[in-house]
Structure 1
Amino acid sequence: MRLYPEKLAHHLQAGLAPCYFIYGDEPLLKLEALDMLRQCARNNGFDDHLRFDAPNLEWDDIFSASQSLSLFSQRQIIELALPEKLDKNSAQRLGELLKQCHPDLLLLITGPKLNQQQQKSAWFSAISQAGPVILVNTPEGSHWLRWLQQRIKQHGLQIDNDGVQWLSLAFEGNLLALNGELEKLALQQLPSPLSLALLQEQVQPHHQFNPFQLFDPLLEGKVKRATRILLQLRAEGIEAGMLCHLFARELTPLIHMQLGLTAGQSFSKLAAELHIWSSRQGLVQSALQRLPLAKLQQLQAMLGAADVAVANFEEDEAWRWLYSLCVGFLDGKKMGINP
């Protein structure tokens, strides 16, 4: 059963399930979900609490803990933090542990962001049958703005529209820092609604992006957002060479697919051959409809120029080419610059 983080409080009104799996890449949402579950468990008499962390999960110790209770408690919480990849032995032992769930044992399992293959695994299926699974990814696009507005309201604040937009740009990708700033604002006696000027006086921006967040906006043609992410990645110290490698991983399949479509092959067959996840196929189709082969080949040549600049230690030149490359995803018109 899949459960969204914002629905967890309502779910808990009906009581605790024997097992919860919280996974994803958003630390604030993961921490808040865990805290809510721990508090609910304590309110229901789960006083004994043990935690086991990756990468060194000692399964014999975990099983021993799950089969014994302290002298002072009849109900027990066991927390497991799973590693990035679960080996065969761990997957098997986890499946065995899930079969031991009972009303006096609560399993709180956390994990990283999972790919599609991991979500189709037997161990993930076993966890899903044992209790709710809660995906905690960083909200993006309209979901991010909606989350921000809800969090502002939750802290009892009122902020004008310009202020909300500024916060959405100043803290995109960094929910922990944003929540901390909202908590501080809520403790101060400031005029309401908070204006943009006042926020800029009181709050220090904390953007945070990872390189993989750059490519979905590019595939959608959202160049303004993509270039903003690119500039922030540079400010955060990401190397141009790393981005060149990631751009090649995105561009090469696009060119292969455009060649295949031109030759009469179906999109679904090409997507399967190139192992493009179903969740991204809509984005890829959008890009292919907008970017003809000639434009994609020009973008590839620009990437080659960025690669040469990296090899020659011309960092500024490499970043200029990467910026132009992002702009090139806007439409199918050939650009007036040549590598």
Structure 2
Amino acid sequence: MRLYPEQLGKHLQAGLAPCYFIYGDDPLLKQEALDELRRAARALGFDERHKFDADDGLDWDAIFDASQTLSLFSNRQIIELSLPDKLDKTGSDRLRELLGQCHTDLLLLVSGPRLNQQQQKTAWYKALAAAGPVVPVFTPDARHLARWLEQRLHRHHLAAEPDALHWLALAFEGNLLAAAGEIEKLALLNLPQPLTLADLQQHVQPHYHFNPFQLLDPLLQGKIRRGCRILLQLRQEGVEAGMLCHLLAKELTTLQSLQAALASGQSFHQAATALQVWSNRQPLMQAALNRLGTAKLAALTRLLAAADAAVAAFDDDSAWRWLQALCVAFLDDQPPTILP
């Protein structure tokens, strides 16, 4: 069963499963999901808690000892297990063995990083999904962030006018932890409701954050202003131009390979599957191909090559200028750039 964080409360009203797997890249949502599960467990008499973190090295023998030993002071216990980015064969085997020991007096809370499609096909992931609910915790993207913020404000008995809510979404995109902190501060100020744009700009300090992968989708969609905004923020956050060149090169290579496959008579689905394009990104890639022709892709590739050459020459300023030119060149009506 797949549950999202906002569904946990209703799910727990029906009782506690023996195992939960919380995975994803958002620290706030992950922590809050774990806290909600701990509270529900304590209310049912799970008073003893053992925590094992991959950062400290997983001692599987110690984990099994804890799972098989009941305290004199508690008949029910929680085993919390934080998985590493990659689980080796030994870890996979021991985890599946541990899952086989789940019972009504033992609650297993497993947490982990964001998983790709291949990891979700592994034996250990399938065993976790069979043992209990999996709870993905991902930072809401730009389309869903305003709704999340509105719900968060409502939790603190606050409301915001539409333009204020839009500004708040821009101010905290990619950083729910900072957004939650600022909303808690707003709740203490006892400001008139609903909050106005002027209220937020006076009392809130923006803390948006982007990761390099978030640059790709706006460019494929032709949302150039957003792409340039993300690019500027990535530079301010210290992301290396070379990393962006690598990601963009991979994306452009995939687009050109898809284009060649379509020209040879393959269906888009066949080509995308062969190139291991995630199913949720296939519509985006197909739409991008419909608006980016062969000449445009060739021009984008030349701009990227110029950026990459600047990185190789340690000319950071030039590299970022080329990257900005590349972003602008994704515009539908932007003619292919001719390099000297």
Q: Do Structure 1 and Structure 2 share a fold, with TM-score over 0.5?
A: yes
1:79 aligns with 2:80: yes
Match in the other structure for 1:61: 62
- d(CA) in 1 for partners of 2:48, 2:312: 57
Contact 1:25 1:137 in 2 (8 A): yes
Deviation per residue, 1:26-82 (Å, 9 max, x gap): 110000000000011011100010000004111111111101111100000000000
Structure-2 change in CA distance of 1:57 and 1:336 (3 Å): closer
Once the two structures are superposed, what CA deviation does each residue of 1:190-222 show, in whole Å capped at 9, x if it has no partner? 222222122112111101111011112222222
- Partners in 2 of 1:165 and 1:223 — Cα distance? 19
AA of the residue aligned to 1:296: L
- Give distance in 2, aligned partners of 1:246 and 1:51: 36
Mind listing any 5+ residue stretches in structure 1 that lack a counterpart? none
Note if 1:291 corresponds to 2:311.
Answer: no
C-alpha separation between the residues in 1 aligned to 2:68 and 2:89?
23
Q: 2:221 is matched with which residue?
A: 220
Aligned partners of 1:52 and 1:62 also within 8 Å: yes
1:333 to partner: Cα distance:
4.8
Structure 2 CA distance for aligned equivalents of residues 215 and 178 of structure 1: 24
Deviations 1:160-213 (A, max 9, x none): 222111110110000000000000110112222222122112111101111011
Show the counterpart of 1:310.
311
Residue pair 2:52, 2:63 contacting (<8 A) in 1 also: yes
Aligned twin of 1:123: 124
Gaps of at least 5 residues in structure 2 are none
1:265-288 per-position Cα deviation (integer Å, ceiling 9, x unaligned)? 222232233221222111111111
Letter in 2 for 1:86: L
Percent pairwise identity: 63
Q: How does 1:327-338 map to 2 (within 5 A)?
A: 327-331=328-332, 333-335=334-336, 338=339
Any conservation in 2 of the 1:295–1:332 contact (CA below 8 Å)? no
CA distance in 2 between partners of 1:283 and 1:168 (Å): 23
Aligned pairs (5 A) from 1:1-339 = 1-55=1-55, 56-331=57-332, 333-335=334-336, 338=339
Deviates more, 1:110-119 or 1:159-168: 159-168
Q: Is the 8 A contact 1:52 1:81 kept in 2?
A: yes
Opposite residue 97 of structure 2, the aligned amino acid is E
Question: Partner amino acid for 2:118?
Answer: Q
CA contact (8 A) 1:298 1:334 kept: no
Q: Following the alignment from structure 2 to structure 1, what is the Cα–Cα distance between the partners of residues 68 and 300?
A: 60
1:142 positional shift: 2.1
Cα distance between partner residues in 2 of 1:42 and 1:144: 32
Cα distance in 2 for residues equivalent to 1:333 and 1:199? 37
